[in-house]
Amino acid sequence: MKERSQFSSKFGMLAAAVGSAVGLGNIWKFPYVAGQNGGGAFLLVYLLCVLIMGFPALITELSIGRMAQTGPISAFKKLTGNNRWTFIGVLGIITSFLVLSFYFVVAGWSLEYIYQSISTMSFKGMTTADLNNAFDQFSTNTMRPYIWLVTFIVMSGLVIYMGVQKGIEKGSKVMMPMLFAIMVYLAVHALLTNSSPEGYEFYLLADFSKITPTVVLQALGQSFFSLSIGIGVLLTYGSYVKEGNIVITGLQISILDTLIAFMAGLVIFPTVFSFGIEANAGPELAFVAMPAVFSQMTGGMVFAILFFLLLALAALTSTISLYEVMVAMLNDTFGLKRGLANLIVGVVVAILGIICCNSINGHSIFTLCGMTCFDWCDTITSNYFLPIGGLSMMLFFGWGCSRKKVHDAMIEFGMKEWFYKIYIVFVRFVIPILIVLIMLNQFGVLKI
């Protein structure tokens, strides 16, 4: 029996979990999905999703790992003695591949923008049209996006190969606060230099008529994506710890993650309106709006480089969390050597990533229902696979496990009895019903 690695402290586990949660999902995806889904209306529904569903789901996933003390494929069998729930682990692995294939593409963009911050002297003198053009030219280039994509995959593979994740996670204890500080600075800067209130109105005032079934589904998906729920990453991290109050850990991760996403909106939307950028521009939004911010800032170059560097590092702590889970699974379940498992994951993800990368900006080899491969991987994972993964974990925890075992474990992990009573009702009834209703509503099977 191999010795299982443990986090040296509960802070180690917190840093790793926050590292996984905070990433492109907060700074790149949140603003673009909010921009496409009505701004303030989306923000409101998003916050409700984090509070009502994301936070309990996060505690659930961490707890399953902590109880089982093993990774996602074997955890469910270990806790119930049968194989009925193993599909959750398998779904998680498939989802991880799909997430990584588009995530690496965008992570590559962050590297390109470090380079562009220097080569254009922090986008000096560039108009909105120039910035849009720069993005289009880069993303349709037949070399650069692929080179950055592969570079990022190799970087992640190397971190795993050298076993220095812990080091990176320790580093993220410094980098995350820096990222946070820079976002606060940029948000205040936006507030002070912005003359148009439309950006704030768009982002902070909820127009209830804009809340459609799609907006609700997108908010649910985005909250699970941003918190890294439903894939097995948190389960794995939970399995590395034996101490610490689970509710406090869950709160810390949820609050930090949500704050960083919220700040990204506070920087991007005022800029979008004062620079005449389309709020619903889609995946390129942050890569046009952020350069616009730096183009007019004193000391813009330092901030631009620092920002894209921190964004790349935040993306790296998220990619290694997914990458490690896959390598560990190939190693545990199929007995592959870690080095070989690492290579296989890298090659498969590179192939999928190249297809996604190729599908940007009208270059798609195929489109399905009007969506490119990139869009498919992006939307289908967030909106369906992660909520279904999270839902299955909740059904497992609420209905598949012995009630006494779950109760005793949660109390042992530091949950108060009164909180448990509410929590378990959410896990057994409220959240599963809500997720099913949201999905049925989206498909038009049900009209609310």
Residue 237: strand, helix, or coil: helix
Residues 6+ apart with CB under 8 A from 183: 27, 260, 263, 264, 266, 267
Contact pick of 16, 18, 21, 131 for ligand PHE (by CB under 6 A): 21
Question: What totals of helices (H) and strands (E) does the chain contain, helices first?
Answer: 22, 0
Q: Which long-range contacts (CB under 8 A, 24 or more apart) does 68-72 make?
A: 68/235, 68/239, 69/4, 69/239, 70/4, 70/239, 70/332, 71/232, 71/235, 71/236, 71/239, 71/325, 71/328, 71/329, 71/332, 72/232, 72/235, 72/236, 72/325, 72/329
Q: How far is the CB of 280 from ligand PHE (least distance, A)?
A: 20
Residues in the chain: 448
| Structural tokens at position 268 | 């991007």
Q: Please count the residues of this chain forming the interface with ligand PHE, following the rule CB under 6 A.
A: 15
Contact pick of 14, 17, 24, 263 for ligand PHE (by CB under 6 A): 24
358 contacts ligand PHE (rule: CB under 6 A): no
Which lies closer to ligand PHE via its Cβ, residue 36 or residue 321? Answer: 321
223 contacts ligand PHE (rule: CB under 6 A): no
Which lies closer to ligand PHE via its Cβ, residue 27 or residue 415? Answer: 27
Q: Are 349 and 100 in contact (CB under 8 A)?
A: yes
Which of these ranges, 7-15, 60-68, 318-326, 432-440, lies near ligand PHE under the rule CB under 6 A?
318-326
DSSP for 3-56, please give it. PPP--SSHHHHHHHHHHHHSSHIIIIIHHHHHHHTTTHHHHHHHHHHIIIIIHH
65 contacts ligand PHE (rule: CB under 6 A): no
Q: How far is the CB of 72 from ligand PHE (least distance, A)?
A: 12
Distance CA 373, CA 356 (A): 5
250 contacts ligand PHE (rule: CB under 6 A): no
Distance CA 105, CA 102 (A): 5
Which lies closer to ligand PHE via its Cβ, residue 20 or residue 274? Answer: 20
Distance CA 161, CA 266 (A): 38
258 contacts ligand PHE (rule: CB under 6 A): no
Contact pick of 187, 322, 360, 427 for ligand PHE (by CB under 6 A): 322
317 contacts ligand PHE (rule: CB under 6 A): no
Which of these ranges, 58-66, 116-124, 220-228, 372-380, lies near ligand PHE under the rule CB under 6 A?
220-228
Residue 130 parent element (H or E): helix 128-140
CA angle 94, 441, 213 (to 5 degrees): 90
318 contacts ligand PHE (rule: CB under 6 A): yes
Which lies closer to ligand PHE via its Cβ, residue 218 or residue 226? Answer: 226
Q: Which residue is nearest to ligand PHE (CB)?
A: 25
18 contacts ligand PHE (rule: CB under 6 A): no
Residue 353: strand, helix, or coil: helix
218 contacts ligand PHE (rule: CB under 6 A): no
Which lies closer to ligand PHE via its Cβ, residue 317 or residue 361? Answer: 317
20 contacts ligand PHE (rule: CB under 6 A): yes
Distance CA 245, CA 414 (A): 5
Which of these ranges, 51-59, 66-74, 225-233, 329-337, lies near ligand PHE under the rule CB under 6 A?
225-233
Which lies closer to ligand PHE via its Cβ, residue 41 or residue 233? Answer: 233
Which lies closer to ligand PHE via its Cβ, residue 36 or residue 226? Answer: 226
Which of these ranges, 67-75, 179-187, 207-215, 224-232, lies near ligand PHE under the rule CB under 6 A?
224-232
Contact pick of 156, 172, 228, 295 for ligand PHE (by CB under 6 A): 228
Taking the CA atoms of the chain, what radius of gyration do you get in angstroms?
A: 21
25 contacts ligand PHE (rule: CB under 6 A): yes
Q: 427, exposed or middle or buried, with CB in 10 Å at 0-12, 13-18, 19+?
A: buried
Q: How far is the CB of 425 from ligand PHE (least distance, A)?
A: 26
DSSP for 283-340, please give it. TTHHHHHHHHHHHTSTTHHHHHHHHHHHHHHHHHHHHHHHHHHHHHHHHHHH---HHH
342 contacts ligand PHE (rule: CB under 6 A): no
Q: Are 222 and 30 in contact (CB under 8 A)?
A: yes
Mask for 383-412, x = binds ligand PHE (CB under 6 A) = ------------------------------
First to last CA, the chain: 52
Contact pick of 37, 110, 172, 226 for ligand PHE (by CB under 6 A): 226
Which lies closer to ligand PHE via its Cβ, residue 110 or residue 318? Answer: 318
List the one residue out of 288, 257, 253 whose CA is nearest residue 113. 288
Which lies closer to ligand PHE via its Cβ, residue 21 or residue 75? Answer: 21
Binding site for ligand PHE (CB under 6 A): 20-21, 23-26, 99, 225-226, 228, 231, 233, 318, 321-322
